[in-house]
């Protein structure tokens, strides 16, 4: 799941970004609308967290304009404006959720996860393949009924592979969706996470290497 955080308060932006990244999301960040627009116009995002009042304008104006152009990415507004008229304006201008400052970061994370799942075009909250089951809402994965102790990044990679069973997924694609933009695409971070996943998933093997292309989640009977 890939998220953009647009917040001009450096400390708050860091806190929100750190919390979201801790769940395994790829999180990009910006301090103003103009910077965010560059990334939002070229990359795919599952959710955008917008502070309303930014140095270059009110985010609801930007969101409203993008909605008129057919932009459908879920938006969560963060703001100190707590009047009913402000909240209603946020929804009327294209926001999907509205959280008043100060807020609990854990609640914000839960709301982002909910919006991201809603953007998944009907994808179920529980993913299954062979004897592997993943509850995306509870952030739990089991194989043959046994709970797997996965790190946030392992969960993110496995979730992405589970959402595309039997498909070859490239390393660059996994970095795009599961790591932040500072990750070197030439590094071996994907291979390292996949190695750990294979150990935790145990035999028979479910994650197969597709030479020259990446990895594929397939049944135990599939050949690499």
Fold of 126-217: Arc Repressor Mutant, subunit A (1.10.10)
Task: List b or e across 3-41, with b for residues whose CB sees 16 or more CB atoms inside 10 angstroms.
Answer: bbbbbeeeebbeebbebbbebbbbbbbbbbbebbeebbe
Q: What is the pLDDT of residues 162-185, one digit of tens each?
A: 888 888 998 888 887 787 666 665
Query: Mean pLDDT of all residues in the chain?
Result: 86
- For residue 210 the two structure tokens come to 């597709």
Mean pLDDT, rounded, for 180-192: 73
Q: How do the domains of the chain map onto residue ranges? A: 2-118, 126-217
pLDDT, tens only, 26-51: 899 999 999 999 989 887 888 999 99
pLDDT at residue 190 greater than cutoff 80? yes
Question: Which pLDDT belongs to residue 77?
Answer: 95
2-118 and 126-217, same CATH topology: no
Q: How far apart are CA 215 and CA 168, in angstroms?
A: 5
Strands (E), 60-198: 75-79, 97-100, 126-129, 132-135, 140-143, 146-147, 168-169
Share of residues in the chain with pLDDT > 90 (%): 46
pLDDT digits (tens, 9 = 90+) for 103-137: 998 899 989 988 887 665 445 668 888 899 988 76
Average pLDDT over residues 76-89: 89
**Alpha carbon separation from 74 to 2, 95, 113 (Å, rounded):** 12, 7, 11
Residue 224 pLDDT grade (very low, low, confident, very high; cuts 50, 70, 90): very low
* CB-count burial class (<10 Å; 0-12, 13-18, 19+) for 55: exposed
pLDDT higher than 90, residue 222: no
Q: What local confidence, expressed as pLDDT, does residue 178 receive?
A: 81
Instruction: Tell whether the model's pLDDT for residue 199 goes beyond 60.
Output: yes
For residue 76, list its beta bridge partners: 49, 97
The CA–CA distances, whole Å, from 120 to 17, 42, 160 equal 21, 19, 12
User: Per DSSP, what are the bridge partners of residue 137?
Assistant: none
β-bridge mates for residue 128, sequence order? 133
The residue-averaged pLDDT of 75-93 equals: 90
> In the CATH scheme, what is the code of domain 2-118?
3.40.50.2300
For residue 195, pLDDT beyond 90: yes
Longest dimension (CA), the chain: 59
Strands 47-51, 2-6: pairing is parallel
Tens of pLDDT, residue by residue over 94-104, are 999 999 988 99
């Amino acid at each position: 799941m890939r998220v953009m955080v647009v917040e001009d308060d450096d400390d708050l932006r860091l806190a929100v970004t750190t919390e979201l990244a801790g769940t395994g999301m790829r999180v990009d960040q910006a301090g103003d609308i103009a910077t965010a627009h560059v990334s939002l116009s070229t990359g795919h995002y599952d959710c955008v967290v917008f502070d309303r009042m930014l140095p270059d304008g009110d985010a609801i104006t930007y969101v409203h304009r993008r909605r008129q152009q057919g932009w459908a990415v879920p938006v969560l507004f963060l703001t100190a404006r707590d009047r009913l008229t402000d909240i209603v304006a946020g929804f009327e201008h294209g926001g999907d959720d509205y959280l008043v400052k100060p807020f609990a970061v854990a609640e914000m994370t839960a709301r982002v996860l909910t919006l991201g799942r809603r953007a998944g075009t009907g994808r179920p909250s529980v993913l299954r393949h062979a004897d592997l089951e993943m509850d995306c809402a509870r952030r739990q994965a089991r194989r043959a009924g046994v709970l797997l102790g996965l790190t946030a990044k392992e969960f993110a990679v496995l979730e992405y592979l589970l959402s595309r069973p039997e498909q070859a997924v490239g390393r660059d694609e996994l970095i795009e969706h599961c790591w932040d933009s500072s990750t070197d695409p030439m590094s071996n971070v994907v291979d390292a996470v996949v190695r750990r996943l294979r150990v935790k998933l145990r035999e028979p093997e479910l994650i197969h290497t597709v030479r020259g292309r990446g990895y594929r989640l397939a049944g135990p009977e599939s050949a690499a």
